[in-house]
Structure 1
Amino acid sequence: MSKVNELKEKGNKALNEDHFDEAIAAYTEAIALDGNNHVLYSNRSAAYAKAGKFELALADAEKTIELNPTWPKGYSRKGSAHAGLNNFPEAFEAYSEGLKHDPQNAMLLQGRQEIQTALINYMTRNMSTPMDIDPPKPKEEQKPKEPPKPAEPKLEDMSEEERKKYLAKKEKDTGNGYYKKKDFENALKYYHKALEIDPTDITFYNNIAAVYFEQKNYDECIKQCEKGIEVGRENRADFKLIAKALSRIGNSYRKLEDYKQAKIYYEKAMSEHRTPEIKTLLSEVEAKIKEVERRAYIDPAKAEEEKELGNELFKKGDYSNAIKHYTEAISRNPDDPKLYSNRAACYTKLAAFDLGLKDCEMCIKLDSKFIKGYIRKGKILQGMQQATKASAAYQKALEIDPSNAEAVEGYRSCSMAFHNNPQEVWKNAMADPEVQQILKDPAMRLILDQMQNEPNAVKEHLKNPAIADKIMKLLESGIIQIH
């Protein structure tokens, strides 16, 4: 897993545990490594919003949209940030803009509905006095009156069922207060009291399960969710509450690193109520399962056996079957560059140059000093009639071992191609969009003219990294030469 993904996972974990500052720090570090990753800005926007830092949440949401204008979640983040700032018209506009890209998106539809309600309430509260009535002038000594508190309902006026629901809710609300303070023992006490009063409400089981999850007692969390689902189905609970319990079971199994069970429960939750959050969790746990299975399959000893079988078939000229054994060897030991190099040799023999080139790039990525990877890359590029790029690959090999005969011969043959057919070199180079862009740049054309008239000027220009990269690209393409 790359450093960026590690930091993203760290941030996601902290965010799930309400450690907002830790999550923000992790996402910020990841963004420093990959500033064009729209998902990182989206996640940090969520963390800022949960921390109440809505201005920063809005800035990250707008950056998310800038990087990926068609991604619905960016607009959801923007709407949420505007809502936190009480910018209800802007929030409504953000949700509406997102729905243009995904008209059925549940988060955007729900967000816009909530904003519509909030906007109506806001306008109602702030509606001005009609113009034909003079508003009374408040006396300076008068203090604004506190709005009257709603009267407590009288228990004697309630039916037995209403009384039960009312008293259970009061216990639950008290428990919620303790839960927010992370006083989980007292939260549990009041949730259990609510359950004693009304054992038919799935919400109380869900709340108890949430406490156990926070306490990392995942087995008990699962038991409570299962009881809640059973009670919920018996009493025709809202499918969203059933989905919430199923998702929490999935989260518990994920914490227990039982990813297959987590996948089962996320899929069950999706069947009850599809949300982007559960879909994301399902995708992440599926990736975990694949990674676990990949790692479990690794066996360097069996990889060596498969490689030897591949080598024997290669010597016999049976390249197709040799590829099968090299592929199995790679599955058994994916970090061995020699295996990719051997398979690249088979692809080269079969003229499958694009596949061979990918294998060469992989073995070089695994070991930048693996000289065979550069030589095979050079040969493939020669086969693809890309002599300039082949020459650059041989140059890399010679930097590692200047006396390597294959690299010397490869570089020499490429140089002869340049010398014998400069028009072909120019034609190949100009087919490269990057070369075209460099030559169209007026500043680079001035620099190239100066280098032609003043050869020593190249040393000064190479001190500028951006210009040096462009000059090296032109050198590799054969467009220019420095003697």
Structure 2
Amino acid sequence: MSDTVDGGEGAPPTVDAAQRAAALAAKLRGNEAYKKKDLDTAWGEYTTAVSLDPTDMTFVSNLAAVQFERKDYPACVAECQRALQVGREHRADFKLMAKAWARLGNAAKRLGQLDTAKMAFEKALTEHRTPDYRTSLSEIESLIKKKNEQDYINPELAEEEKQAGNACFKSGDFSGAVKRYSEAIRRNPSDSKIYSNRAACYTKLMSFDLALKDCEKAIELDPQFIKAFLRKAMVHKGMGQTSKAQATYEKALELDPNCTEAMEGYRSCAMQSHTDPEEVRKRAMNDPEVQRILNDPAMRMILEQMQSDPNAIQDHLKNPAIAEKFMKLREAGLIQVAYK
């Protein structure tokens, strides 16, 4: 990005008129040379202007612009700091101060000094709020966030967190497993298996929207990952989207025509789509396990609570035993869970 030189304002009374006029003439000659990319001449003229009138920060700021064009960013930062010092001492216009801070921010950005750049653009905004400065600050904040995320990546620690998540999952602590898998993802966001594992947790917790998002991310990272397709199909079934589940099983079969789980899931969806919902309910009520769950006073109370407060289910699902019972009732087609 090409920098621009400053125009300058009125001079303080400590500089006589002749000096001021000569300084402005040198600045104008410097501007003409700068526009022609004759940076050495511009540098000489701006240096002359500074020597004639050291109280005007714009002359020093223009030296910083030359250093920026030379790609000598450390020197640019130093000249910006000098310009800001002059500006503070002689109460320069806030717009000129903001421009010097922004130039310093751009130079620091080129040097990879993102924290310094962020501070500089924040200072520019305190002096003069413009859309350009706001955009520059947002870009720096995004770069800092991205850098922090990159610095946090550690596949070895990710594997440790994944194994800890697996242990939580096996013990029925699905909420704990989600926390572990989430940390593993932050440590290694390119591992499709971790997203798939977290999707399994969200499915157990009936957070189907989150489970679906993780399945899709796992598939994006590894389009051949058949387990992610199978889990995605289960999520669609949990949402009551039988046709989508069937289509997902079909995609899994394209990857592996001999996958038993995909074949059984596809057939189940095909049968369900042609089955009367009342027949599904009757079949479920004949299941001894379903009968035991529905006859459990605690479960009946929870189901009644769901009628008035559907969101209450999330608290109950933190209990692994209750979560398993809910899963059984859902798989039997007796309950539907609302999702966003």
| Same fold, judged at TM 0.5 (above) | yes
CA distance in 1, matches of 2:206, 2:157: 28
2:56 maps to 1:201: yes
Q: Normalising to structure 2: TM-score of the pair?
A: 0.77
Residue 227 of structure 1: which of 82, 86, 100 is its match? 82
2:168 maps to 1:313: yes
CA distance in 1, matches of 2:234, 2:2: 53
How far did 1:160 drift?
A: 6.9
CA distance in 1, matches of 2:188, 2:165: 14
1:332-371 map, 5 Å: 332-371=187-226
How far did 1:163 drift?
A: 2.0
How far did 1:267 drift?
A: 0.4
Letter in 1 for 2:248: A
Residue 255 of structure 1: which of 85, 110, 114 is its match? 110
1:48-447 map, 5 Å: 161-421=16-276
Letter in 1 for 2:245: A
Letter in 2 for 1:354: D
SS of the residue corresponding to residue 274 of structure 1 reads coil
Q: Normalising to structure 1: TM-score of the pair?
A: 0.54
How far did 1:258 drift?
A: 1.1
Structure 1 partner of 2:2: 17
Letter in 2 for 1:372: K
How far did 1:307 drift?
A: 0.5
How far did 1:358 drift?
A: 0.7
How far did 1:421 drift?
A: 4.2
Give CA deviations for 1:168-210 in whole Å, capped at 9, x if unaligned: 1110010111111111111000000011110100110110000
How far did 1:235 drift?
A: 1.0
Paired residues of 2:15 and 2:53 also in contact (CA < 8 A): no
CA distance in 1, matches of 2:57, 2:182: 51
Could you say if the C-alpha distance between residues 422 and 314 of structure 1 is closer, same or farther in structure 2, counting changes exceeding 3 Å? closer
Letter in 2 for 1:246: W
Structure 2 partner of 1:7: none
Structure 2 residues without counterparts, runs of 5 or longer: 4-13, 279-340
SS of the residue corresponding to residue 257 of structure 1 reads coil
Letter in 1 for 2:189: P
Letter in 1 for 2:2: E
Structure 1 residues without counterparts, runs of 5 or longer: 1-15, 19-158, 424-483
Equivalent residue pairs, number: 268
How far did 1:272 drift?
A: 0.6
CA distance in 2, matches of 1:407, 1:261: 54
Give CA deviations for 1:369-407 in whole Å, capped at 9, x if unaligned: 111111101001101100011111111111101111111
CA distance in 2, matches of 1:245, 1:17: 15
CA distance in 2, matches of 1:192, 1:260: 30
Letter in 2 for 1:292: K
Letter in 1 for 2:267: R
Letter in 1 for 2:113: D
SS of the residue corresponding to residue 419 of structure 1 reads coil
CA distance in 2, matches of 1:359, 1:218: 43
Structure 1 partner of 2:299: none
Letter in 2 for 1:310: G
CA distance in 2, matches of 1:182, 1:326: 55
CA distance in 2, matches of 1:167, 1:288: 44
Paired residues of 2:246 and 2:269 also in contact (CA < 8 A): yes
Give CA deviations for 1:14-58 in whole Å, capped at 9, x if unaligned: xx238xxxxxxxxxxxxxxxxxxxxxxxxxxxxxxxxxxxxxxxx
How far did 1:419 drift?
A: 2.0
Percent identity at matched positions?
52
Letter in 1 for 2:49: A
Structure 1 partner of 2:307: none
Letter in 2 for 1:161: D
Paired residues of 2:20 and 2:53 also in contact (CA < 8 A): yes
Letter in 2 for 1:293: N
Structure 2 partner of 1:46: none
Letter in 1 for 2:121: Y
Give CA deviations for 1:210-257 in whole Å, capped at 9, x if unaligned: 000111111111111111111111111100000111111111110001
How far did 1:167 drift?
A: 1.1
SS of the residue corresponding to residue 237 of structure 1 reads coil
Letter in 1 for 2:103: R
Structure 1 partner of 2:311: none
CA distance in 2, matches of 1:233, 1:419: 79
CA distance in 1, matches of 2:62, 2:276: 77
CA distance in 2, matches of 1:360, 1:17: 45
CA distance in 2, matches of 1:167, 1:421: 95
SS of the residue corresponding to residue 205 of structure 1 reads helix
SS of the residue corresponding to residue 274 of structure 2 reads helix
Letter in 1 for 2:166: N
CA distance in 2, matches of 1:160, 1:250: 31
How far did 1:162 drift?
A: 2.3
Structure 1 partner of 2:287: none
Letter in 2 for 1:418: S
CA distance in 1, matches of 2:83, 2:77: 10
